[in-house]
Structure 1
Amino acid sequence: MVVHMTPVEAAHALHRALEAGKSGDELRPLFTADAVTVERPNLIKPHGARSPLDEMLANSDKGTGLLSSQKYDVHSELVSGDTAILRLTWTGVLRDGKQLVAHIAQFVDTRDGLIRSIETFDCYEPF
């Protein structure tokens, strides 16, 4: 029996997997084959970025190599149709012990219980 996640459940499943150190193909089951991520301009990516699934998964492997841990604290969430809208704080600890903090508005669009797209607006605290 296949259980379809709600949009909020799908977003939380991704956050929990990333917090657990999962990356790359370990994350693939959470996404549709045509999934994309859109990052709006921010301090780390001043021009923003658009990444199809394979690039997104490769980027998650790179992130895992840079971070010793990461945490997602969700402050509020709501659902509109197949989209979860979350306001959260992300905290990443680099391998050298330095901490990055971003305040994020995240839009997670789903199809059939899987993540179809993620659009993020990341506001990083000064490094």
Structure 2
Amino acid sequence: MTTEEQNLETARAYLAAIEGGATGEALACWFTEDVVQEEFPNRLVPNGARRGLAELLEGAERGQKVMQAQRYEVLSAMAGGERVALEVQWTGTVAIPLGSLPAGGQMRARFGVFLDFRDGRIAAQRNYDCFDPW
């Protein structure tokens, strides 16, 4: 298996872990210790965000309180060297009311996710999230 194929497989498994509710070490194992995640401005994070490993793990814990379920459908994926680019259709079911959504309501978004790998782990992640109106 080539590096590109391994990284694509890892990227898909990483999304499956998030979908399954991974937190703590079950989530940290996908990242390098010095990972940087950038989320560019969107409806939920209007100013964007830049997070390290600790902030990613804290966010996953907070997310468990807000989201009842998540589904990630990879629409397209490509890899070159140590970089993977994914187009993802995301559907989330909220556990609590959010904006005009009642508890149990669904949110949808298209994500552009770019992952940089080092030694088989994610060293950088950039998200471009486009949410459907709700």
How high is the TM-score relative to the length of structure 2?
0.87
Q: Report the alpha carbon displacement of residue 18 of structure 1 after superposing the two structures with TM.
A: 1.2
| One-letter identity of the residue aligned with 1:44 | L
Q: Name the CA distance, whole Å, in 1 between partners of 2:89 and 2:24.
A: 22
| Residue in structure 2 matched with residue 113 of structure 1 by the alignment | 120
Q: Which has the larger radius of gyration?
A: 2
Aligned to 1:126, the other structure's residue is in SS state: coil
Q: TM-score, normalised by structure 1?
A: 0.92
- 2:29 corresponds to 1:29: yes
Write the deviation string for residues 54-81 of structure 1: whole angstroms up to 9, x where unpaired. Answer: 1011101111111111000001000021
Deviation for aligned residue 1:97 = 0.4
Unaligned runs of 5+ in 2: 96-102
Aligned equivalents of 1:61 and 1:14: distance in 2? 16
Q: Secondary structure at the match of 1:27?
A: helix
1:14 aligns with 2:14: yes
Cα offset, 1:122, TM superposition: 0.2
Q: Is the 8 A contact 1:7 1:108 kept in 2?
A: no
Contact 1:23/1:61 (8 A) holds in 2:
yes
- SS of residue paired to 2:11: helix
Question: 1:61-109: CA deviations, max 9, x gaps?
Answer: 1111111110000010000210110011111101110111110111011
Q: Distance in 1 between matches of 2:57 and 2:36?
A: 10
5+ residue gaps, structure 1, are none
Residue of structure 2 in register with 1:123 after alignment:
130
Displacement of 1:36 in angstroms is: 1.3
TM-align CA RMSD: 1.2
Aligned-residue identity in percent: 36
- Give the count of matched residue pairs: 123
Q: Which residue of 1 aligns with 2:78?
A: 78
SS of equivalent to 1:75 = strand
